[in-house]
Each structure stands twice: as structure tokens, then as C-alpha cells.
């Protein structure tokens, strides 16, 4: 799975596509990660052993401002959040391509630059489309509001 | 051999300094907020209230460590650990001074920071979901949407610096600023990064996931004892990291005349920490739709523009580039 990579011996040729070579120079990061995990674990475990113990009538109820909770907290939520997740995937992928271009700007030259410009242009067109659709607005969109107003007016008559 | 000892010393000292700073920050923030609101703030424990963080820690550790019976137990315990671990782990890539840093010449340093801040989003979302409390759920979802949105252009705002230097390594970025700090050519990038950093650590004025006026305490409503404290350590570690990165990327890191490099780094970082606290003291909290609109409609186009313009200037000044 993993093989350590010592700089002196050159890059090891992987024996299978699933093998990853880890540079030996990263050992401080590994030690640091281990130390941080131990630290966090200790802090959380300490309060478990040092803490007080209480019992009470309402102790095991969820806190909802002192009102008795009704129903489960597994609510149905606005699908707006799903839309944001989709937008995130789209634009974060775009960002990743830009990262790869940004480290090599002089090497890629103007050809690479106009390639990237075209790529960003396509995504900006997408952004404008979503903007016009109201995908970036929270709360009710203008069109939904007009529809709701029209429905209210017709029900009054 | 001396190299190994130097690294081991860094590994042992740096996380403790960050934890100390996170604890000290809680006191500093309370004192500074008090100054700006014409109050005294905590000044009873020890001289000038300096022992207040210690008293807070003892109190948090001896409070009941309650895991709600209706919560999703393993996730509930892991969630606060993630935010603290990622916050401290990011410090591994900070070039504090020449010879002080853990893997500060990591060739993917900036990407490491972005990855860690993305992982931080899990903490809040999982905490909100596993608590099985309505306030927590809403807080968790809000924060997930907020952090995802702001992450996109947090990365993009840093690319201006990467284009100028051609590297993700923070040490090389600092070295490249010997001729001039990057906050002048990358002013737009700096402002965007600062706002995105505020939103990523969900600090005031972008603390909508835990807006106490509407959500009790948001995602950590059901947390008590040190697990509650761990969320705060994570948040303050995040503030320290964002301030340190502002220093490193835009204000020349350890570079500066007369004083030793490490003092310069600390001074600059402390200035940004105080700036973050000042922003908390002065700015009102926006509405959630305003926050999201600011992100997608203003920040994203601006950061794309920054990338495009910086790339053109870099190519124009380095000749035709082949």
C-alpha cells in the first residue's frame, strides 16, 4: 500500500497502481499529527473522568428553550442547501483547475492563459445563468413571490 | 542529528504555543471587548486577570461531561475533536522564522491549509447532526453551506500570491517578499482572504451558525464541559492560523528590520488577531441571505477577476513566457 521514499535512492517505481510513495522528509508531519491526536484525545477524555455526575427530571431532554420538545429533530430542510452543495462542487472543481494553472503561469505562457480565460468564461456564463434563475437568492425568489401574491388575490375574490 | 533535534523541539513547542495563544486569546478578547465597550472585563483572577484562562480550564474540566442519550454517541464525541485537531495541524506548515517550523517548506503547504480548513466544516456539520436537536441541526446546516461557499473563493483569493511566486510553499512565498510585501499588488486578494477567513472560522460578524439571538447556541447547543471548550479552542486556533497566514502571505512573514524574525512574526500575527477582535466589537451580524449573496455574487466574481488580472500582469512582466 505505502512505501517510504528516501531521496537518495530516487523515486521508487510502484509495483501496483495502488501503491503510494511517501517521502521520508515528511516524518515530522507524521510525528506532529500523532502528537496532536493524542493531545486532543487527552483533553476530551480528561473531562470524562474529572466531571461531576448529576441526575434530574429533565436532564435527558433536548434543550429547546425550556419548551417540551415535540417530534424528532430529523427535520426536512430546505432544498436550498442541496443547491449550495451542487454549486460548491461545480466551482470548487473550477478552483482546483485554477490552482494547477497558477503554479505554472510563466511556463504555460499566453496559450495557457487564454485557455484558462476560456474555461473561466464558460463557468462565468454558468454563474450568470444561475444568478438569473434565482439559484443564488435565499428566501423566496421574485417569481415565487409574484405567484404567491397572485394566488392570494384570486382566493380572496 | 542536530536537524532531528531542532525538528523534535519544534514539534513539541509549537502546538503548546498555539494552545497557549488560544487560551490567552480568550482573555485578550474579553479584555479588549471590555475596553471597547467601556467595561472592565475579567480582572479578578491573578494580576490583571491573567490567570482567568486557567480558571476557565479547571471549571470546564470539572463540569459534567454529558452525552445526550438521544444523540449519536461516537459522532457526537468525534465532532469537537476534528475542529481542534485540524486547527492545530495547520500550524505545521507555518514558517515562523528561519529554522522555526515543522514542515514549513512543504511543497503543497497552501493546499494543506485549504484541505484542513475544509475538514473543519465536517466538525460543525457532524456536531449539528449528531446532537439530534433542532437548533443544532439548523446551525450545522447553515454553517456547512456558509463554509462551503466561502471556501471556493478562499482558495481562489490565495492564487494571486501563488501566481506571483509560482509555488505553494509558504517558506518560498515569504522569501519572495524581500522586495516588497504582497499586500500592495494583492490588496484585493488580501481583503477577500480576510473575509473568507472570518467566515471559515465562523467568527463574529459571520457567526450565523451559532447566532445566539436566533439559535440558542447553534451547533453546540447540546455540548457541555470540555467538549464545549474544545470547540472554542478550535475556533481560536483558527483565528491564530488565519492571522498567521495573513502575515505570511501578504505582510512578509518574519521579514522586518532591527528586531529578530520571530518577534516580527509574532507582532504581525498579534496585530491581525486584535483586528479580528475589533471587527467583532464593531460590525453587526448580517442576515443569512445577505451573507450568501455576498459570497456568491460579489466575492466569487471578484476573486476570479483577481486571478485573471494577476495572471495577465505576471505574463506581461516576465516577457512572452515561451
Select the residue of A47, A63, A87 nearest B61 (Cβ to Cβ).
A47
B167/A contact by beta carbon, under 8 A: yes
Q: How confident is the model at residue B226 (pLDDT cuts 50, 70, 90)?
A: confident
Coil, helix or strand at residue A21: strand
A127 and A82, same structural domain?
yes
A146 and A84, same structural domain?
yes
The pLDDT, as a whole number, for residue B98 is 81
Number of domains in chain A: 2
The yes-or-no verdict on residue B166 having pLDDT over 50 is yes
Helices (H), B166-284: 170-175, 187-200, 212-215, 225-250, 261-282
Is residue A69 situated within a structural domain?
Answer: no
Backbone φ and ψ of A23, nearest 5°: -65, 135
CB atoms within 10 A of CB A108: 19
The yes-or-no verdict on residue A16 having pLDDT over 70 is no
Question: Rounded to whole angstroms, how far apart are CA atoms A121 and B200?
Answer: 27
A81 and A43, same structural domain?
no
Question: Rounded to whole angstroms, how far apart are CA atoms A114 and B308?
Answer: 10
A141 and A81, same structural domain?
yes
Is residue A107 situated within a structural domain?
Answer: yes
Is residue A156 situated within a structural domain?
Answer: no
Average pLDDT over residues B37-65: 83
Is residue A68 situated within a structural domain?
Answer: no
A85 and A59, same structural domain?
no
Note down the domain range covering A124: 77-150
Average pLDDT over residues B108-133: 86
Residue in the structure block whose three cell numbers are 517578499: B177
Average pLDDT over residues B65-86: 85
Is residue A72 situated within a structural domain?
Answer: no
Share of chain A above pLDDT 90, in %: 4
Backbone φ and ψ of A21, nearest 5°: -95, 125
Most confident range (mean pLDDT) of B203-207, B265-269, B281-285 is B265-269
Q: Is A26 in contact with B103 (CB distance < 8 Å)?
A: yes
- Give me the residues of A, 16-55, that contact B with CB < 8 A: 25-26, 28-29, 31-33, 35-37, 39-41, 43-44, 46-48, 50-54
The yes-or-no verdict on residue B321 having pLDDT over 60 is no
Q: Is A112 in contact with A101 (CB distance < 8 Å)?
A: yes
In whole numbers, what is the pLDDT of chain B averaged over residues?
Answer: 84
Run of H or E including A22:
strand A20-23
A143 and A93, same structural domain?
yes
Could you report the predicted ipTM of this complex, rounded to two decimals?
Answer: 0.82
A45 and A98, same structural domain?
no
The pLDDT, as a whole number, for residue B322 is 43
The yes-or-no verdict on residue B85 having pLDDT over 80 is yes
Residue B295's Cβ-count burial label (10 Å; 0-12, 13-18, 19+) is buried
Question: Rounded to whole angstroms, how far apart are CA atoms B61 and B50?
Answer: 19
**Residue A25 grid coordinates:** 522528509
Could you tell me which residue, B139 or A59, shows the higher pLDDT?
B139
Is residue A70 situated within a structural domain?
Answer: no
A144 and A82, same structural domain?
yes
A20-37: pLDDT as tens digits? 777 777 788 888 888 889
Is residue A91 situated within a structural domain?
Answer: yes
Domain spans of chain B?
A: 2-318
A18 and A59, same structural domain?
yes
Is residue A71 situated within a structural domain?
Answer: no
Nearest residue in chain B measured CA to CA from A101: B163
A141 and A82, same structural domain?
yes
B177-190: pLDDT as tens digits? 888 888 888 888 89
Interhelix angle A80-102/B300-317, nearest 10 degrees: 10
The yes-or-no verdict on residue B142 having pLDDT over 70 is yes
Q: Is B173 in contact with B165 (CB distance < 8 Å)?
A: yes
A82 and A141, same structural domain?
yes
DSSP string, B114-144: HHHHHHHHHHHHHHHHHTT-HHHHHHHHHHH
Amino acid at each position: 500500500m505505502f512505501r517510504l521514499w528516501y531521496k537518495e535512492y530516487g523515486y521508487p517505481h510502484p509495483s501496483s497502481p495502488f501503491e503510494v510513495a511517501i517521502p521520508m522528509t515528511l516524518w515530522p508531519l507524521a510525528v506532529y499529527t500523532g502528537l496532536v491526536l493524542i493531545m486532543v484525545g487527552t483533553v476530551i477524555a480528561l473531562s470524562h473522568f474529572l466531571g461531576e455526575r448529576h441526575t434530574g427530571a429533565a436532564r435527558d431532554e433536548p434543550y429547546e428553550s425550556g419548551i417540551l420538545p415535540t417530534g424528532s429533530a430529523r427535520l426536512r430542510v430546505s432544498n436550498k442547501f442541496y443547491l449550495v452543495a451542487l454549486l460548491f462542487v461545480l466551482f470548487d472543481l473550477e478552483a482546483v483547475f485554477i490552482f494547477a494553472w497558477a503554479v505554472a503561469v510563466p511556463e504555460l505562457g499566453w496559450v495557457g492563459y487564454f485557455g484558462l480565460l476560456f474555461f473561466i468564461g464558460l463557468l462565468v456564463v454558468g454563474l450568470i445563468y444561475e444568478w438569473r434563475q434565482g439559484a443564488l437568492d435565499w428566501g423566496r425568489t421574485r417569481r415565487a413571490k409574484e405567484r404567491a401574491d397572485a394566488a392570494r388575490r384570486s382566493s380572496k375574490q | 542529528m542536530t536537524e532531528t533535534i531542532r525538528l523534535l523541539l519544534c514539534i513539541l513547542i509549537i502546538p503548546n504555543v498555539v494552545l497557549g495563544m488560544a487560551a490567552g486569546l480568550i482573555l485578550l478578547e474579553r479584555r479588549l471587548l471590555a475596553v471597547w465597550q467601556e467595561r472592565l472585563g475579567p480582572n479578578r483572577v491573578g494580576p490583571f486577570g491573567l490567570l482567568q484562562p486557567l480558571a476557565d480550564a479547571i471549571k470546564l474540566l470539572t463540569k459534567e461531561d454529558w452525552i445526550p442519550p438521544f444523540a449519536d454517541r461516537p459522532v457526537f464525541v468525534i465532532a469537537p475533536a476534528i475542529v481542534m485537531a485540524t486547527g492545530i495541524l495547520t500550524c505545521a506548515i507555518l514558517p515562523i522564522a528561519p529554522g522555526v517550523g515543522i514542515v514549513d517548506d512543504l511543497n503543497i503547504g497552501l493546499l494543506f491549509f485549504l484541505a484542513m480548513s475544509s475538514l473543519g466544516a465536517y466538525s460543525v456539520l457532524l456536531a449539528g447532526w449528531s446532537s439530534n436537536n433542532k437548533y443544532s441541526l439548523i446551525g450545522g446546516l447553515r454553517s456547512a453551506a456558509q463554509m462551503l461557499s466561502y471556501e471556493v473563493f478562499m482558495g481562489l483569493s490565495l492564487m494571486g500570491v501563488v501566481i506571483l511566486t509560482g509555488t505553494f510553499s509558504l517558506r518560498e512565498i515569504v522569501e519572495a517578499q524581500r522586495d516588497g510585501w504582497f499586500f500592495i499588488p494583492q490588496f484585493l486578494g488580501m481583503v477577500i482572504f480576510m473575509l473568507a477567513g472570518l467566515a471559515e472560522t465562523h467568527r463574529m460578524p459571520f457567526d450565523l451558525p451559532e447566532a445566539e439571538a436566533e439559535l440558542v447556541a447553534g451547533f453546540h447547543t447540546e455540548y457541555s464541559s470540555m467538549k464545549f471548550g474544545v470547540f472554542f479552542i478550535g475556533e481560536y486556533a483558527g483565528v491564530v492560523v488565519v492571522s498567521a497566514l495573513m502575515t505570511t502571505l501578504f505582510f512578509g512573514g518574519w521579514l522586518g528590520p532591527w528586531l529578530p524574525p520571530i518577534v516580527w512574526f509574532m507582532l504581525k500575527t498579534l496585530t491581525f488577531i486584535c483586528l479580528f477582535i475589533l471587527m467583532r466589537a464593531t460590525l453587526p451580524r448580517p442576515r443569512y441571505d445577505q451573507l450568501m449573496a455576498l459570497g456568491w455574487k460579489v466575492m466569487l466574481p471578484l476573486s476570479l477577476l483577481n486571478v485573471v488580472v494577476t495572471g495577465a500582469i505576471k505574463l506581461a512582466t516576465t516577457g512572452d513566457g515561451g
